[in-house]
Amino acid sequence: MKELKKIIEQIKKLNSLLFQKDFLLTWERSIDELKKVLLVAEALRYLREKNISMRCFDSGLAISHFKDKSTRTRFAFASAASSLGLALQDIDESTTQIAHSETVRETSNMISFFAEVIGIRDDIYLNLGHNYMKEVSEAIEDGFREGVLLRRPGVINLQSDLDHPTQTLSDLLYLKKYYGTLENLRGKKIAVTWAYSPSYGKPLSVPQGLITLMTRFGMNVTLAYPKGYNLVPETIKIAEKNAIKSEGKFYVENSIEHAFKDADIVYPKSWAPYNVMRKRTELLKNRDFKELEILEQRCLKENMKYKDWECDEEKMRLTKNNNALYMHCLPADISNVSCENGEVSKRVFEKHRISTYLEAENKPYIIASMILNSAFKDPARVLEKIIKRDTKQLIES
C-alpha cells in the first residue's frame, strides 16, 4: 500500500476545480487538474492490479451517447462505470423521444435524475460535436441550478470534432510510465504525422488533441501533413502558445521524413483535410447527400497521391537510434493486412503491437478518474476510504 499512499499524498498537493465540472477539452483544464486525472487513474489501476474493489458508488447511472462507431472508448467507458459501481445506460436515439423532436435541454434533464456522468462521442462533423456537448452541459447546469437535478452529472468528451481527451490523456499516462515522470518528457521529440489510409473522413481530433496536450509538457512536437491536410486553425494557435509557455517546441512540416528525423516518439495517423471537413458539414446541414458522396470519392482519390506517407522500416530508421516509440490510438490501417497500403507496415506494427495495447489499457482508468474527480470533491479521501474498507474486509475474513 506504500505506493498507493504516495500517490494519494501527491493528489492532495494539487489544486483543481474538477468537482461538478465537465471534461470537454484538455486545454480548458489546468496542469494541476491534468496531473490529478493522471494520478487518480494510476491509483485506480493499482487497486485493480491488487484485486481491490474500486467501487465508490452504491447506485447511479453512467450514460453513454455514441454518435459514431467505437470499440476501445465504448468498452473503456463501460468498464470505468462498472468498476466504480455505476450502471451503464446507452442512449439509442431511435428508441427515445429524441426521435420525436424532444429538445436537447429536455432530454439532458430527463436522463439525469440519477445520473453521475454522461459520456458523449460526436466527432464526425466539424462545429457540431463540441457544440452539442456544450449544449448538453449548459442544459444540465441550468437544471441543477434551478433545483430540477439534486446532483449535477459531469459531461465527458469521448471524442468530439476538436479534441479526444480520454485518448490523449491515456497516451500521456503511457509516456509518463515509459519515461518515468512527466518531467522526463521535456525535450523529447514526438512526430504527430498524417498517414495514408484507404478509408475516408477520419476526424481531426486525435492529432489536434496531441499537439495541444503534449506541448504543455515541454515536448518538442512536430506536426506533419501533406499540403491541404491542415487542422483546425484554433488548435494550431493553442499548440504554439503552449510550446512557448512550457519552453517546448512546436513545428509544422509538410514532410513525414523531416518529422521522423531524430524523433523519440512517432504517432502516424490519418485524418481528412480541414477544408473538406468544413464542406462536409455544410452538405450535411443542407441534406445534400449526393454531393456529399461525390466529395468523399474526390477525397479518396486525393489521398491516393500520398501512399508513401506510411510508417515503415525505412522511415523508422530515421528516428533517434533507429528505434522510436511507435504510438497509435487504434485501430491502425496496416498495409498488407487490412489494406494494400496503409498507415503502418505490418513489420513495424507487429514490433510495437503490445505497446499499443498497453497504451490503450490506460483509457478505462482515465475515464474512471474523470468520473471520480467530477463526482467527488476530495478524490484522495475516497481512495483512503477504499483502503480502509479493504483492510477491514481482510481482518473480518
Instruction: At 185, list the grid cell.
Output: 518528457
Task: Place 392 in a pLDDT band, splitting at 50, 70 and 90.
Answer: low
Picking from 7, 19, 3, the residue whose alpha carbon sits closest to that of residue 378 is 19
Q: Which of 114-128, 268-282, 372-386 has the lowest mean pLDDT?
A: 268-282
Terminus-to-terminus CA distance in the chain, angstroms? 19
DSSP 135-181: HHHHHHHHHHHTTS-SS--EEEEEEESS--HHHHHHHHHHHHHHHSS
pLDDT tens, 32-64?
Answer: 999 999 999 999 999 999 999 999 999 999 999
Burial (Cβ within 10 Å: 0-12, 13-18, ≥19) of residue 233: exposed
User: CA separation (Å) from 242 to 173, 214, 221, 386?
Assistant: 19, 9, 11, 37
Is the pLDDT score of 100 beyond 80? no
Picking from 36, 32, 29, 49, the residue whose alpha carbon sits closest to that of residue 7 is 36
Is the pLDDT score of 235 beyond 60? yes
Report the SS3 class of residue 103: coil
Q: For residues 245-250, give the mean pLDDT.
A: 98
Picking from 99, 174, 130, the residue whose alpha carbon sits closest to that of residue 22 is 130
CB 368 within 8 A of CB 44: yes
Q: For residues 152-174, give the mean pLDDT.
A: 98
Picking from 333, 337, 338, 276, the residue whose alpha carbon sits closest to that of residue 309 is 333
Task: Place 99 in a pLDDT band, splitting at 50, 70 and 90.
Answer: low
Instruction: At 52, list the grid cell.
Output: 481491490
Q: Which helix (H) or strand (E) holds 87?
A: strand 87-90
Q: For residues 249-276, give the mean pLDDT.
A: 96
pLDDT tens, 287-305?
Answer: 888 888 888 888 888 889 9
The rounded mean pLDDT for the chain is: 94
Q: What is the pLDDT of residue 297?
A: 85
Ordered domains of the chain (ranges, CATH): 2-163+364-396 (3.40.50.1370), 167-360 (3.40.50.1370)
Q: What is the pLDDT of residue 285?
A: 83
Alpha-carbon distance of 107 to 115, in angstroms, equals 13
Q: What is the pLDDT of residue 292?
A: 83
pLDDT tens, 166-194?
Answer: 999 999 999 999 999 999 999 999 999 99
Q: What is the pLDDT of residue 396?
A: 47
Q: What is the pLDDT of residue 201?
A: 73
Picking from 163, 161, 159, the residue whose alpha carbon sits closest to that of residue 211 is 163
CB 180 within 8 A of CB 137: no
Q: What is the pLDDT of residue 237?
A: 98
Q: What is the pLDDT of residue 397?
A: 39
Alpha-carbon distance of 218 to 315, in angstroms, equals 25
Is the pLDDT score of 395 beyond 70? no
- Considering the chain, what percentage of its residues have pLDDT values greater than 70? 97
CB 129 within 8 A of CB 66: no
